[in-house]
Structure 1
Amino acid sequence: MKEAKTAQRDAYSLILEAIDVGEFRPGDRLVESDLAERFGVSRTPIREALQRLETQQLLTRDGRSLIIASLDHNQMAELYVVRAELEGLAARLAAKHATEEETRVLRDMVEDDRYLVNNPSALARANRRFHRQLHLASHNRFLMQQLTLVHQSMALMETTSLAVEGRGETALAEHDAIVRAIEARNEGAAQAALKDHISRAFMTRLKLDASAFES
């Protein structure tokens, strides 16, 4: 029984990671046999993992097939509203509870990421690591659980807003402001800086989608 649960968890994690890093994109069809071969897992845990992802609305039905879900405009807007509030709270709690070591790690991430501004895909991965580290620094397990669900849904977007010209440099400046507020133990400033960061990311996303529609 334990081995079965481990296989199910691993299959779920493997598929989720593939979605998160963009190996599977919205609209891609997922086939049990293909996934079992790809990940070296039997079809039973793959099936159970797909059912779990469908329950979480990361997958949707197209006839008898399961495909990676996509977000329409309203869903995207709703997601950003929730993300701004939850991430803002995480930043506020990080300013209060983060250890000196956690704060230094956040600072090092900002400095290291300056070398990635011309590589949107690498910067997007670094961005996820930064936000994950900030979540950990909040020291609130229940908030982290909710943020994990939000960031899983963020993976359903077609492209990263960091691919927009100039957004990488701006996003890093926003990360710097967040970390400076956390370093100063200024809870209100940390929350405001994080919410401003998410707001600007949302505006960039809207402009990106508008450009795609026009083309």
Structure 2
Amino acid sequence: MKSNPTDAYSMILEAIDVGVYKPGDRLVESELAERFGVSRTPIREALQRLETQSLLARDGRSLIVASLDHNQMAELYVVRRELEGLAASLAARHANEEEVSILRHMVEQDNALVDDAAALARANRRFHKQIHLASHNRYLVQQLDLVHRTMALMATTSLAAQGRGAIAQREHDAIVTAIEAKDEAAAGAALREHISVAFMTRLKQDAARREEEA
């Protein structure tokens, strides 16, 4: 059996990120160990790490996947908007020709996924990660990794909203166009606007869900 707690942490985090475990789901050491083929000790260490990062919460003696209330979600989007905007500005300044080419290829390739929200959400994460790396600022990348880990606590993706996929792809195109032109201000503004629209879309989704539940 594998015994690396980093492997266990990554596997559990990935499972949360792709929706295998959703907010409110209980995580049990023995079940996780069996699922991932990892001994219980690294699973226990990984769960402790995830709890420290507030990705897991206590429910009595059990650990469950945490959820975000309205205020936490709003705070997260404020931070994400500014950090993502900074990453785009720095990418416009520092990205090399190959990195910019990869971003353009991603946009063109992902256009085929606009009707598949789950696949587009995965592609969206790859796209944003590529911009983070193209900023060539390790400390910014670390902070954005934390933000995106916390984003996994949202049970749905804004890309599931009707028409949002195509709009998001046009926004991605505008971001890459600004980076290609090395226009730092335009790149930052385009990505901040992209995050703002995503947040508004998510607020509408939540409002509709509350109305259905009422």
Class of the TM-score when normalised by the shorter of the 2 chains: over 0.9
Q: What is the alpha-carbon distance in structure 1 between the residues aligned to residue 141 and residue 14 of structure 2?
A: 17
Matches within 5 A, 1:56-71: 56-71=53-68
- What does the per-residue CA deviation read over 1:1-23, in whole Å, with 9 as the maximum and x for residues that have no partner? xx85xx11000010011111111
Q: What is the alpha-carbon distance in structure 1 between the residues aligned to residue 129 and residue 18 of structure 2?
A: 15
Structure-1 residue corresponding to 2:195: 198
Q: What is the alpha-carbon distance in structure 2 between the residues aligned to residue 143 and residue 203 of structure 1?
A: 25
1:112 corresponds to 2:112: no
TM-score, length-scaled by structure 1: 0.97
Structure-2 residue corresponding to 1:20: 17
2:150 counterpart letter in structure 1:
S
Structure-2 residue corresponding to 1:47: 44
SS at 1:22 equivalent: coil
1:113 counterpart letter in structure 2:
D
Identity over aligned residues, as a percent?
74
Runs of 4+ aligned residues of structure 1 deviating over 3 Å after TM superposition are none
Structure-2 residue corresponding to 1:169: 166
1:30 counterpart letter in structure 2:
L
Unmatched runs of 5 consecutive residues or more in structure 1 = none
SS at 2:22 equivalent: coil
TM-score, length-scaled by structure 2: 0.98
Deviation at 1:57, TM superposition (A): 0.1
2:117 counterpart letter in structure 1:
P
Q: What is the alpha-carbon distance in structure 2 between the residues aligned to residue 193 and residue 99 of structure 1?
A: 20
Unmatched runs of 5 consecutive residues or more in structure 2 = none
- CA-based RMSD of the aligned residues comes to 0.8
Q: What is the alpha-carbon distance in structure 1 between the residues aligned to residue 17 and residue 129 of structure 2?
A: 13
2:59 counterpart letter in structure 1:
D
SS at 1:152 equivalent: helix
SS at 1:156 equivalent: coil
